[in-house]
């Protein structure tokens, strides 16, 4: 099966779970999803992964009891991965994983995703990136303004955000048994110093 992305680009969808970049990201998303369920069950926050709408073009019926989608298209470019409500704040964030040790590539972020997060922040929401360094097994919350300060330098040749800057200026997300990624304390830190990072 193939899905056509916006602007007509087609990419194959792997039918088996293989150790690709996308599967590493999926492992990260599974940790976030587990944490969101933990928060929801305890009434701490309501945060969900956004579904990406697709247009089904062709299906096959290999068996009478089974339907197989063989071709589909994204209806529109995706915005961000997660949104919800926490302590009266609208929360909107993107999750990214990288195998690199010393930097986070800016190409991992799409301009329309930043535009969406900026629009949410302008309306009083809290927008950020959760970035997972797979080899370090470290996760950080990157405030939107911190990310855009580097992204705006792309035209001048900037290609990444150094790990050292993330380590010192972003918020470490603690990992534990349950929730797997306890990112709400990092959100609290972000909110508490929003005068520095965030304009309401």
Does residue 119 lie in a domain region? yes
**Is pLDDT above 90 for 150?**
yes
Please tell me the predicted confidence (pLDDT) of residue 67. Answer: 72
The per-residue pLDDT for 26 is 55
* DSSP codes joined into one string, 99-153: --SSEEEGGGS-HHHHHHHHHHHHTT-EEEEEEEETTTTEEEEEEHHHHHHHHTT
At 35 the three-state DSSP class reads: helix
More confident residue, 8 or 109: 109
Q: What is the pLDDT of residues 73-123, one digit of tens each?
A: 555 566 788 999 999 999 999 999 999 999 999 999 999 999 999 999 999
- pLDDT-based confidence at residue 16 (cuts at 50, 70, 90): very low
pLDDT over 50 (residue 127): yes
> Is the pLDDT reported for residue 34 higher than 60?
yes
User: Does 178 fall in a domain?
Assistant: yes
Q: How many domains does the chain have?
A: 1
83 domain residue, yes or no: yes
Domain of residue 132: give its range.
21-51+77-197
**162 within 8 A of 147, measured Cβ to Cβ:** no
Asked whether residue 12 is domain-assigned, the answer is: no
| 85 in any annotated domain | yes
The two structure tokens encoding residue 71: 């071709």
Domain of 110, CATH number, reads 3.40.1350.10
Say whether the peptide bond before residue 16 is cis (omega within 30 degrees of 0).
no
DSSP one-letter code for 43: T
Asked if residue 15 is part of any domain, the answer here is no
What is the rounded average pLDDT for all residues in the chain?
82
pLDDT exceeds 80 at position 40: yes
| Structural domain includes residue 69 | no
């Amino acid at each position: 099966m193939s899905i056509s992305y916006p602007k007509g680009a087609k990419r194959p969808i792997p039918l088996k779970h293989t150790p690709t970049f996308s599967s590493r990201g999926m492992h990260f998303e599974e940790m976030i999803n587990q944490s969101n369920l933990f928060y929801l069950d305890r009434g701490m926050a309501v945060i969900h992964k956004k579904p990406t709408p697709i247009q089904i073009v062709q299906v096959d019926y290999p068996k009478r009891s089974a339907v197989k989608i063989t071709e589909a298209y994204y209806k529109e470019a995706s915005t961000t991965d997660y949104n919800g409500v926490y302590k009266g704040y609208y929360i909107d964030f993107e999750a990214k994983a990288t195998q690199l040790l010393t930097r986070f590539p800016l190409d991992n972020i799409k301009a329309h995703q930043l535009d969406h997060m900026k629009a949410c922040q302008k309306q009083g929401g809290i927008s950020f990136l959760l970035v997972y360094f797979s080899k370090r097994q470290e996760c950080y919350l990157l405030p939107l303004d911190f990310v855009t300060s580097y992204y705006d330098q792309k035209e001048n040749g900037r290609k990444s955000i150094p790990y050292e800057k993330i380590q010192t200026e972003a918020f470490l997300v603690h990992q534990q048994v349950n929730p797997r990624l306890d990112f709400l304390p990092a959100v609290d830190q972000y909110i508490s110093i929003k005068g520095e990072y965030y304009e309401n």
